[in-house]
Each structure stands twice: as C-alpha cells, then as structure tokens.
Amino acid sequence: MNVILKKNYQGAKTDLSYGFTSQGGGTERRASQLFGTNWSGGNAMIGYEYLQQDGIDARQRDFTSSAPDLIH
C-alpha cells in the first residue's frame, strides 16, 4: 500500500509504462489511473494501479546460458 497525500485534487491522471530487457524476459507493464473531485463539503479521490512483471529465465542470460537445465 502506498499513501500519497494530495490535497484538494481535481481531475484525472493516467500513467502507462512498458519496459523490456535487451536479452528477453523481464517485461514489465504498468497502468495507473487517478480521479479526484472536491466540492463545498469535502473531497474524494480514488486511485488504481496495475503492474505485471514477467520472470527472467536463466537461459536468457549469457552468463548462465551454459547452466544445466534442472527443471524438466
């Protein structure tokens, strides 16, 4: 859980990111959305974040490519 205080936030914000490695594996996808509104009696804000990260297999790296395959 992240706690980020924003006072009187008004509007919407969307962030998207995508990352990958040059040798394969480790792909990362992230999307977040923030909505906020305020009125004379108060304010409300809601946020959501999605993150997916793929693993890196030892065979995808030069320094471990000759390692024995222990998983069959």
pLDDT tens track for 5-59: 777 889 999 999 999 988 888 899 999 999 999 999 888 999 999 999 998 887 7
pTM here is 0.64
pLDDT of residue 65: 58
pLDDT of residue 66: 64
pLDDT of residue 72: 55
Q: Which residues of 14-44 are buried (b: 16+ CB within 10 A; e: fewer)?
A: eeeeeeeeeeeeeeeeeeeebebeeeeeeee
